[in-house]
Amino acid sequence: MGIEILEKPGKKVVLLGNEAIARGSIEAGVGVVACYPGTPSSEVPLALSGVAKEVGFYFEYSANEKVAVETATGAAWSGVRSLTAMKHYGLNVASDSVLPIAYLGVKGGLVLMVADDPQGWSSVQSEQDSRYFAKMGKIPMIEPTNPQECLDYTKLAFDMSEEFELPIFLRTTTKTSHSIGTVKLGKIKPPKIKGFFKKDPARFNSIQRPNLQIFHEKLIKKLENIEKKYSSKLNVVFKGKGDIGIITSGVSFGYVKEVLQMFHADLPIAKLGLTFPLSERFVSDFIRGKKKVIVVEELEPILEDFVRQTAKDVNSDLIIHGKDVFPTVGEYNLETIIPGFEKILSKRIGIDFKKHKKNVDNALKDLPPRKPVFCPGCPHRSTFYAVKKVFGENTVYSGDIGCYALGIFEPFKMQDFVVSMGASLGIGHGISEVSDQDVVAFIGDSTFFHAGMAGLVNLKFNNGKSPLVVVLDNNITAMTGHQPNPGTGITGMGKKVDPVKIEDVAKSLGAEVRVANSFNQKQLIDALNELKKMKGPRVLVSRGECRLLTKRLMYKRGVKLPVFEIVNQKNFEGNANDVLNNFSCPGVIKEKENGKTIYKIDQNMCWGCSVCMQISPEGSIKPKRDENEV
Amino acid sequence: MKFDLMSTGVGGEGVLTIGVIIARAANLEGYYVRGLQLHGLAQRGGTIPTFVRFGDEKEISSPGIMQANADLILAFEPLEAVRATFYARKEKTTFVINNHPYIPIYANLNNIPYPSLDKILKKIKPFAKDIHVFDTNNLAKKEFGDVIFGNTILLGIAVGKGLIPLKEESLRESIKITVPKGVESNLKAFDFGLNIGKSHTRVE
């Protein structure tokens, strides 16, 4: 929806939460944005990358989140407002630098946007609650509830950061980041992009004792002052009737408001925008005199624990509901929190969710599932197919993070586990070290640059048994929406640069390397057979551009992709089961016509990769000639 | 006033874009808009439901539609229309379906055949106030030479039938800002759908 993020002040537009954060940064005059893309945060950099030149700030896709945070910090220390955005797992990577930066403080505003992903819509790792990082790192955290607040809070975060010389976490969960909403735009402050780093040993030298303790004490003092000044701005009470109150924050606030309307219950709501440091004063004032409070928060009972602790001194008879009636697991929506409210308020709203779900399940029972699959013409499908031809079913397939994680599904089942960025190499190494099994570790180009290089050099360093590493190089960070990476040859500002070649990196880290075209089965299989015979660190770079990207680029240029067709049914039948069951491109379909099985290539689903032709008996599939083609 | 619209289909079909067109049209008419888009993993050939909610600000604060509560479901793929029944109920929900199947590879791999339209409609009926079915991909191919306009035609049909409480003009305006590159063809496809919606007897 990006084109509207530069609209005029005062205009009302519909933005994604993430786009509203992007607009908020622009309104705040951000000078430097550095990110590694991670969904559910990826539209923040996507939106900003598209307008960086026009607005005049610096934008980069960094090699990983840790580097991104460091880049933003360096700029902030030089007096320039800086932003980084990452997913919860990105924060884990970045945390090594984030925590010390809180002690050292900042000069220009530094905002660290982090998006948690309850339910794991875009994550395979865990339902981590990043609010713990705020507590652990003693870094203030604010949480918007809707796109308008995404914009407003981002601006506020920059002001807070400069006022208290601290980085500020701006935290969302998936349904804040990926929800759309009406947003009223504000004025854009021209970006300040030039800075100067002033040496200041008294401030930056944390090695000399007792500086570290002095810094720590200062940080505690700053948090106290932030609570004093910002609690009243960010924590709001919505008045209501009765002695039952609700405490909530983030996206849950929206659910609570709508659920209360359904119950016709006009209860007071305390909405917490400042979730670290939590305000004892604010919570005490709200719970004083109440009989019951209901704490509604996704994931961990962080607010609930705080309310319990606060209630001990202020209102020890208070009944506190939270995770006793609402789930810790998964994300919230209206129907997940309604049963809890029905229990507490002893009132029904008259929808039998269980019965409805049962009826729906019944309707869905005998339908084919639709799991995410590789796109038609995806280079990964071709690579997985070739690797299985050479390595079979029993090889251990070490998985990693990216589109190729879809190899976990049938028919490939070639990601035996997926842990974290770059983990395929380390875990594959451990298995190789202690077992006699063949191990193949899959990793994508972007993931290789992000966290795979250390795993590879470790193989050489320890000169031990090693998995075969297959780098699936599609020339882009595909899963998160086609962001360039060091191998792409273009920066986040759209500037052409020399691409970093994975084969060069792998060779210099001590590996035996082969390169094959992902769309050429013979090249793949020859290279794999050769590498299979070798020992030690070995890398196959399977290179083929993301087909979705190729398709889009060609569409822009007005060129159609070639399309293939089955021209000889009888010939095709010779290997039809293999093509359908093992290669399984959604473009190749089997239909019954007058009781006879017919094989077809769906012309709208063929993206012209030609691999089905290569693996079918000769003469059965051919490129289609189209008279209309230019 | 509050209108809960769901659009659903298969990743890569342009389902998101139709949601954006509707959301912006509602915004142009001064309604408060909320909604949800799914991104990431689910987009790759998987099911992608999108929610658009518009109306009075005080009635809408959650981004998602509650189960059994959609007013209208625009389904760009018949199988996904069945899956959308989770958000539908007999007293409230109208379905507009593009009868152009995208057969999932799992139909073959798991040996579960793709159901016939009759079977699909039978499954949806207990959850629907009304069902309208068109093969808009086919119409698009015939009329405009490209299936890509099937979505816009389906949107036009829904508006033509008066199933979306928004003005034709706001939708046209929204198409102009949302798909600036293919604006003329998309406007033609929209008008083509609009006429079918206004005149056509039901196909079901």
Q: Give one DSSP letter per residue of A406-465, joined into a string.
A: GGGSTTT---SB--STTHHHHHHHHHHHH--S-EEEEEEHHHIIIIIHHHHHHHHHHT--
Q: Is residue A360 part of a domain?
A: no
The predicted pLDDT at position A4 comes to 87
Q: Is residue A323 part of a domain?
A: yes
Sorted by sequence, the CB contacts under 8 Å of residue A221 that are 6+ apart come out as none
The predicted pLDDT at position B44 comes to 64
Confidence tier at A84 by pLDDT (50, 70, 90): very high
CA B37 to CA B52: how far, in whole Å? 9
The predicted pLDDT at position A415 comes to 96
Q: Is the peptide bond before A210 cis (omega within 30 degrees of 0)?
A: yes
A334 and A273 in a single domain? The answer is yes
The answer to whether A468 touches A425, Cβ cutoff 8 Å, is no
A29 and A175 in a single domain? The answer is yes
Q: Which residues of A touch B87 (CB under 8 A)?
A: none
Q: Would the pLDDT of A230 be above 60? A: yes
Sorted by sequence, the CB contacts under 8 Å of residue A330 that are 6+ apart come out as A118, A119, A127, A336
Q: Would the pLDDT of A628 be above 60? A: no
Cβ separation B105–A373 shorter than 8 A: yes
Residue type, A610: S
Q: Would the pLDDT of B202 be above 60? A: no
CA A515 to CA A517: how far, in whole Å? 7
Task: Compute the mean pLDDT over every residue in chain B, rounded to the nearest whole number.
Answer: 92
A528 and A572 in a single domain? The answer is no
Residue spans of beta strands (DSSP E) within A67-196: 82-87, 110-116, 141-142, 168-173, 179-184
- CATH 3.40.920.10 correct for B2-199: yes
Q: What is the CATH number of the domain that holds A176?
A: 3.40.50.970
B142 touches chain A (CB under 8 A): no
Task: Find the angle CA(A21)-CA(A25)-CA(A30) to the nearest 5 degrees.
Answer: 155
Q: What is the pLDDT of residues A516-550, one digit of tens each?
A: 999 999 999 999 999 999 999 999 999 999 999 99
A295 - beta bridge partners? A247
Please state the φ and ψ torsions of residue B121, each to the nearest 5 degrees.
-65, -35
Q: Which residue has the tokens 């069945």?
A: B82
Residue A590's SS3 state is strand
pTM for this model (two decimals): 0.97
Q: Would the pLDDT of A236 be above 60? A: yes
CA A449 to CA A421: how far, in whole Å? 10
B14 touches chain A (CB under 8 A): no
Residue type, A538: R
C-alpha radius of gyration, chain B, whole number? 16
A87 and A20 in a single domain? The answer is yes
Sorted by sequence, the CB contacts under 8 Å of residue A176 that are 6+ apart come out as A17, A115, A143, A144, A145, A146, A150, A250, A251
Q: Which residue has the tokens 């984030």?
A: A98
B53 touches chain A (CB under 8 A): no
Q: Is the dihedral of CA B64, B66, B70, B74 positive or negative?
A: positive
**Domain end point (choices A547, A574, A593):** A547
The predicted pLDDT at position B201 comes to 59
A172 - beta bridge partners? A115
Count of structural domains, chain A: 4
User: Is residue A568 exposed (0-12), middle (13-18) or buried (19+ Cβ within 10 Å)?
Assistant: middle
The predicted pLDDT at position A555 comes to 85
Model ipTM over 0.90 = yes
A253 touches chain B (CB under 8 A): yes
A423-434 and A453-462 helices cross at what angle (nearest 10)? 30
Residue A338's SS3 state is helix
Confidence tier at B154 by pLDDT (50, 70, 90): very high
CA A308 to CA A315: how far, in whole Å? 10
The predicted pLDDT at position B204 comes to 45
Buried residues in B86-98 as b, exposed as e (16+ CB within 10 A) = bbbbeebbbbbbb
Residue spans of beta strands (DSSP E) within B2-121: 2-8, 32-36, 50-55, 72-75, 94-98
**Domain end point (choices A323, A355, A387):** A355
Q: What is the pLDDT of residues A492-512, one digit of tens each?
A: 999 999 999 999 999 999 999
Q: What is the pLDDT of residues B51-80, one digit of tens each?
A: 999 999 999 999 999 999 999 999 999 999
CA B147 to CA B46: how far, in whole Å? 19
Q: What is the pLDDT of residues A384-420, one digit of tens each?
A: 999 999 999 999 999 999 999 999 999 999 999 999 9
Q: Which residues of B touch A3 (CB under 8 A)?
A: 177, 180
Q: What is the pLDDT of residues A154-171, one digit of tens each?
A: 999 999 999 999 999 999
Q: Which two tokens stand for residue A298?
A: 């996704």
Residue A234's SS3 state is helix
Give the Å distances, CA to CA, from A298 to A1, A92, A116, A422, A562: 27, 20, 10, 29, 48
Q: Which residues of A touch B41 (CB under 8 A)?
A: 39, 121-122, 372, 405-406, 479
The answer to whether A404 touches A445, Cβ cutoff 8 Å, is no
Cβ separation B86–A479 shorter than 8 A: no
Q: How many residues appear in chain B?
A: 204
Cβ separation A335–B47 shorter than 8 A: no
Give the Å distances, CA to CA, from A207 to A103, A104, A164: 12, 11, 23
A368 touches chain B (CB under 8 A): yes
A90 and A152 in a single domain? The answer is yes
Strand order across the beta sheet in which A468-473 lies: A396-398, A439-444, A468-473, A538-543, A512-517
Q: How many residues appear in chain A?
A: 630
How many Cβ atoms from other residues are within 10 Å of residue A238's Cβ?
15
Sorted by sequence, the CB contacts under 8 Å of residue A582 that are 6+ apart come out as A385, A388, A411
Task: Compute the mean pLDDT over every residue in chain A, rounded to the nearest whole number.
Answer: 95
Distance of alpha carbon B99 from its chain centroid, rounded? 12
Q: Is residue A216 part of a domain?
A: no
CA A210 to CA A476: how far, in whole Å? 47
Q: Would the pLDDT of A452 be above 90? A: yes
Q: What is the CATH number of the domain that holds A342?
A: 3.40.50.920
Rounded to an integer, the average pLDDT of A552-574 is 93
The predicted pLDDT at position A22 comes to 98
Residue A574's SS3 state is coil
Sorted by sequence, the CB contacts under 8 Å of residue A574 that are 6+ apart come out as A616, A617, A620
Cβ separation B68–A372 shorter than 8 A: no
What's the domain range around A467? 379-547
Q: Ramachandran region of residue B100, left (φ > 0), alpha (ψ -120 to 50) or beta? A: beta
A213 - beta bridge partners? none
Q: Would the pLDDT of B140 be above 60? A: yes
CA atoms within 13 A on the CB side of A214: 10
Confidence tier at A205 by pLDDT (50, 70, 90): confident
The predicted pLDDT at position A512 comes to 97
Q: Which two tokens stand for residue A473?
A: 């190089």
Rounded to an integer, the average pLDDT of A245-256 is 98
Q: Would the pLDDT of A81 be above 80? A: yes
Confidence tier at A630 by pLDDT (50, 70, 90): very low
Q: Ramachandran region of residue B11, left (φ > 0), alpha (ψ -120 to 50) or beta? A: beta
A412 touches chain B (CB under 8 A): no
A94 and A159 in a single domain? The answer is yes
A336 and A189 in a single domain? The answer is no
Q: Would the pLDDT of A476 be above 90? A: yes
The predicted pLDDT at position A386 comes to 98
Identify the closest residue of chain A to B138 by CA–CA distance: A604
Cβ separation B106–A182 shorter than 8 A: no
Q: What is the pLDDT of residues A13-64, one digit of tens each?
A: 999 999 999 999 999 999 999 999 999 999 999 999 999 999 999 999 999 9
Mutation target vs A (from B62, B79, B85; most A CBs, 10 A cutoff): B62
Q: Which two tokens stand for residue A121?
A: 């819509």
Kindly state the percentage of chain A with pLDDT values over 90: 91
Q: What is the pLDDT of residues A330-377, one digit of tens each?
A: 999 999 999 999 999 999 987 888 999 999 999 999 999 988 889 999
Q: Would the pLDDT of A264 be above 50? A: yes
How many Cβ atoms from other residues are within 10 Å of residue A93's Cβ?
24
Kindly state the percentage of chain A with pLDDT values over 70: 99
Q: Is residue A230 part of a domain?
A: no
CA B109 to CA B88: how far, in whole Å? 30
Cβ separation B82–A179 shorter than 8 A: no
A340 and A440 in a single domain? The answer is no
Cβ separation B46–A371 shorter than 8 A: yes
**Pick from A329, A223, A246: which is nearest to A292 by CA?**
A246
A41 and A161 in a single domain? The answer is yes
The predicted pLDDT at position A253 comes to 98
Q: Which residues of A touch B9 (CB under 8 A)?
A: none
CA B104 to CA B86: how far, in whole Å? 20
**Pick from B74, B117, B118, B76: which is nearest to B96 by CA?**
B74
Tell me which H or E stretch contains A541. Answer: strand A538-543
